[in-house]
Amino acid sequence: MARGTEEDWKAIGEVEPWWGVLSAPKFLSASLTEETIEEFYAQGADEMAWVISQLKVADPGFKPIAGLDFGSGLGRLSFPMAAMCETVVGIDVSPGMRAEAERQRKLRSVPNVTFSETVPDAGFDWINSYIVFQHILPATGYQIIRQLLSRLNPGGWTSLQLTFAHDHRDLVSLQRDTFAFRYDGETATCLEFNETKIGDMSMYDYDMNKVLFMFVRAGISKIQLAHTDHGGVHGFWIFGKKT
């Protein structure tokens, strides 16, 4: 099995936190400007406006009190969530990202968001995560998903995005992480992994059958999916209501 990614994200959060969230050259520290920072947060607001519109179509009475943003990074999605909720908790493993998120929270006068390293033992009406689980080894990610779903209040909604496949346009992680593999004409199995350095950003695919059954086991039977395709990385938004 490939090594865990927690240390990678701590390192990225210290050196290139903006690029770590949106991996475009203009978000590298050397290129960062006030304008690109505002673009960064405006894009997050637009993305969450779309998510909220989907949730309101599914549930016109959608009005969460407590929200949780898993993999909150620099608060890009936590801040627009705060406009919908009374309180929002942003969860991120990277101290560097949490520190900058808190600085931005104060600059933007968003009083109802807090940032934490761990998921609190509390209930939430809305649990969100976007472009996060793809950077967590599924063996760990499945455990986190179960934990998050256990925190969802009855009547609450999820908006969780996970990746499930790569096509030929994006083979970067496979080529970098894999030293040798076995291919039998149907499946590919890694035989030996390369040694990657701390700070590398790998991407992983989840078994959607397994994920969706976790939702069912958690009492989330009203589920809608929306496809995402980020340059050959295929995923789904999972909008689910706990009944």
Read off the tokens for 210.
């397994």
Does a structural domain hold residue 228? Answer: yes
Does a structural domain hold residue 1? Answer: no
Q: What is the pLDDT of residue 190?
A: 87
Q: What is the pLDDT of residue 3?
A: 61
CB 89 within 8 A of CB 64: no
Please give the Cα distance from 136 to 120 (Å, whole number).
20
Q: How far is CA 212 from the centre of its chain?
A: 17
Domain span at residue 205 reads 6-242
- Helix (H) or strand (E) segment spanning residue 6: helix 6-15
Cα 142-3-78 angle, rounded to 5 deg: 50
Q: What is the pLDDT of residue 92?
A: 97
Does a structural domain hold residue 75? Answer: yes
The alpha-helical segments, DSSP class H, found in 126-171 are: 138-150
Q: What is the pLDDT of residue 235?
A: 98
The per-residue DSSP string of 79-105 comes to HHHHTTSSEEEEE-S-HHHHHHHHHHH
Does a structural domain hold residue 207? Answer: yes
Q: What is the pLDDT of residue 87?
A: 98
Q: What is the pLDDT of residue 127?
A: 98
Q: What is the model's pTM?
A: 0.93
Q: What is the pLDDT of residue 178?
A: 86
Q: Phi and psi at residue 160, in whole multiples of 5°?
A: -110, 130
Does a structural domain hold residue 72? Answer: yes
Mean pLDDT, the chain cut into blocks of 10 residues (243 residues total): 77 91 92 96 98 97 97 98 98 96 98 98 98 95 98 98 94 83 87 80 92 98 96 97 95
Q: What is the pLDDT of residue 2?
A: 67
The number of folded domains in the chain is: 1
Query: What is the distance between the terminal CA atoms of the chain, rounded to a whole angstrom?
Result: 36
Query: Residue 42: what residue type?
Result: A
CATH number, domain at 109? 3.40.50.150
The per-residue DSSP string of 187-218 comes to -EEEEEE--PPTT--------HHHHHHHHHHT
